[in-house]
Amino acid sequence: MAFNFGSATGATANQGGFGGFGATTTTAPSSTGFSFSAPTNTGATGLFGNTQNKAFGFGSAFGATGTNTGLNTGLSTGLGFGGFGAQPQQQQQHNALGGGLFNQPMQYPNQPNPLINMASALSAPTLLGDERDAILAKWNQLQAFWGTGKGYFSNNIPPVEFTQENFFCRFKAVGFSCIPGNKDEDGLVELVFNKKEADIRALQQQLVESLHKVLGGHQTLAVNVEGVKALPDDQTEVIIYVVERSLNGTSRRVPATALNNHFEQVNVKSHLQQLGVTLTIARIELSPAQIKQLLQNPPASVDPVIWDQAKIDNPDPDRLLPVAMVGFKELLKRLKVQDQMTKQHQSRLDIISEDISELQKNQATAMAKIAQYKRKLMELSHRVLQVLIKQEIQRKGGFAIQAEEEQLRVQLDTIQSELNAPTQFKGRLNELMSQIRMQNHFGAVRSGEKYYVDGDLLREIKQHLKQQQEGLSHLIGIIKDDLEDIKLIEQGLSDNVHKRGGLFS
């Protein structure tokens, strides 16, 4: 996986991805060939102590240690390139800034430093011994900028191999990737398959059973699939976790590092490769100390100034980390992953849009039903009120009017008089009804006749059109007369031609 930090400690450095944090660890196998015991530290040299880890993220080691001090350490005596990390016993004392060392043949020890060899290949080769060495130096510099080729500089020392990880390669940049937020206790491990997503989903149950067999087939273990996601180049990401049940009925998730260490064993890895697994990564978060050391130690192939600027340009330091991108292949991989994520986001947006449209339709239907039920409730309330009135009339039949009823009648008469007053509600309602009728009447008239033309103007238009028609008729007559004259002329010309022909014959 190209953009997931946090592979398990102890994963091999050549697996790719954003793994390799922490010291190398080993797990002692049990008698059954599988153990979830916590990994023990075998005494590695620290967080980034493995000097063999030359590939991290986009193909560069973040903070190599040991003898390879990196191209960014620099020399205090001015080698002309700003630092190749040479050892003091291999340096020659010169007082000239940027000169001295490259203006005369260099003395190489029995075991030459590869950084000194690169400096010689780029600035002062001694292969030919004439002015052609300057051309060779420029050619070596160009190869170093490309990040490919061999730099010849001496007859006694093998050439320098230029890779894209060298300090002078120009085809590199710094991007940003999300910081993982899963804990080791969550037990999430990512498996990358070289199969399509549809094939993985179709055989998901068989895949779970196969992984269970890879884990030894223990009845106390259960493999669960957390998620399946498509990757570029017809690959698929499957995130799993394993639940271990004890005899007393309790259960826990197997830690991600322990599960990933088991997958990295040689015999287990061969079985995973038969299933189509190309990469296993433990989804674990980074500690603050790991993040701090990652930011303080730029990759060996990235200029520290560019690395510092990338940290300043980080749009969200709490969620993103700078990552080196070396070469066009890594850039293309990042572009493919971004396109894949864009498609997934667009498909998710389409699903959300469809859900919103469906919810809007359901809301409209519900509102219509609510209005219908309100009308029905009002009708039923009126019917109930009428029934109560008739029942009250029958119950009160033959009795004299009580004081409460008299007061109620007075109140109703008062309300009726207020409603019938000209300036009160009934008068306003009558006025509004009359305005609505007038607007409906004008609307009907306008819909029947959209335009109104004055009578005098209409007569002038008719007279003008009549004159135009008469003029066209006169013009047509003139054209007909001219056509008849042309026919007569043509006929006369044809007769003269026949007469002349008879005379000559």
Which residues make Cβ contacts (< 8 Å) with residue 3, sequence separation at least 6? 18, 177, 178, 323, 334, 337
Q: What is the structure's pLDDT at 479?
A: 93
**31-35, 122-126, 373-377, 389-393: the lowest-pLDDT one:** 31-35
pLDDT at 497 over 80: no
| Burial class of residue 277 (count of CB atoms within 10 Å of its CB; 0-12, 13-18, 19+) | buried
Q: How many CB atoms lie within 10 A of CB 189?
A: 27
Radius of gyration of the chain (CA): 47
How large a percentage of the chain has pLDDT more than 70? Answer: 73
Q: What is the structure's pLDDT at 180?
A: 82
Q: What is the structure's pLDDT at 450?
A: 57
- Mean pLDDT (the chain) is 75
Q: Which residue has the tokens 């980074």?
A: 286
Q: Which DSSP category does 129 fall into?
A: S
Top-confidence range, 48-52, 204-208, 425-429: 204-208
| Residue 363: C-alpha distances to residues 51, 128, 375 (Å) | 63, 85, 18
Residue 281 tokens, joined: 């990564």
Q: What is the structure's pLDDT at 174?
A: 87
Instruction: Output the CA angle 315-317-323, nearest 5 degrees.
Output: 85
Q: What is the structure's pLDDT at 93?
A: 33
Q: What is the structure's pLDDT at 24?
A: 34
Say what angle helices 403-420 and 425-448 make with each other, to 10 degrees.
40
Q: Domain-by-domain residue ranges, the chain?
A: 13-45+178-299, 88-166, 411-448, 453-505
Residue pair 320/77 in contact (Cβ under 8 Å)? The answer is no
Strand partners, 282: 189
Residue pair 291/283 in contact (Cβ under 8 Å)? The answer is no
Q: What is the SS3 assignment for 411?
A: helix
Q: What is the structure's pLDDT at 448?
A: 53
Top-confidence range, 52-61, 144-153, 232-241, 359-368: 359-368
Each residue of 185-202: pLDDT tens digit?
Answer: 888 999 999 988 888 888
Each residue of 273-302: pLDDT tens digit?
Answer: 888 899 898 888 888 888 888 888 888 778
Residue pair 153/126 in contact (Cβ under 8 Å)? The answer is yes
Predicted TM-score of the model (pTM): 0.47
Each residue of 72-88: pLDDT tens digit?
Answer: 333 233 333 333 333 33
**129-143, 210-224, 438-452: the lowest-pLDDT one:** 438-452
Each residue of 19-40: pLDDT tens digit?
Answer: 333 333 333 333 333 333 333 3
Q: What is the structure's pLDDT at 366?
A: 96
Residue 53 tokens, joined: 């880890």
Query: Which run of H or of E encompasses 209?
Result: helix 204-214
Residue pair 61/306 in contact (Cβ under 8 Å)? The answer is no
Each residue of 301-349: pLDDT tens digit?
Answer: 788 888 889 889 999 988 898 988 888 888 888 888 889 889 889 999 9
CA distance 205 to 487: 97
For residues 405 and 480, the model is more confident at 480
Which residues make Cβ contacts (< 8 Å) with residue 260, sequence separation at least 6? 7, 8, 10, 11, 189, 280, 281, 282
Top-confidence range, 62-76, 202-216, 410-424: 202-216
Q: What is the structure's pLDDT at 35?
A: 39
pLDDT at 3 over 70: no
Q: What is the structure's pLDDT at 121?
A: 87
Mean pLDDT over residues 194-214, rounded?
89
- Work out the pLDDT band at 504, boundaries 50, 70, 90: low
Which residues make Cβ contacts (< 8 Å) with residue 103, sequence separation at least 6? 124
Task: Give the amino acid at 457.
Answer: L
Q: Which residue has the tokens 């033959």?
A: 398
CA distance 108 to 153: 12
pLDDT at 131 over 80: yes
Q: What is the structure's pLDDT at 505?
A: 53
Task: Give the amino acid at 278.
Answer: T
> How many CA atoms does the CB half-sphere of 139 hold within 13 Å?
12
Task: Give the amino acid at 133.
Answer: D
Each residue of 395-434: pLDDT tens digit?
Answer: 877 788 888 888 988 998 888 887 777 677 777 777 888 8
> Per residue, what are the HEC states of 350-383?
HHHHHHHHHHHHHHHHHHHHHHHHHHHHHHHHHH
Each residue of 226-269: pLDDT tens digit?
Answer: 888 888 888 899 999 999 888 888 889 999 999 999 998 888 88
Q: What is the structure's pLDDT at 40?
A: 37
Q: What is the structure's pLDDT at 217?
A: 85
β-pairing, 160-161 vs 150-151, is: antiparallel
Q: What is the structure's pLDDT at 440?
A: 76
Residue pair 283/190 in contact (Cβ under 8 Å)? The answer is yes
Residue 14 tokens, joined: 């050549």
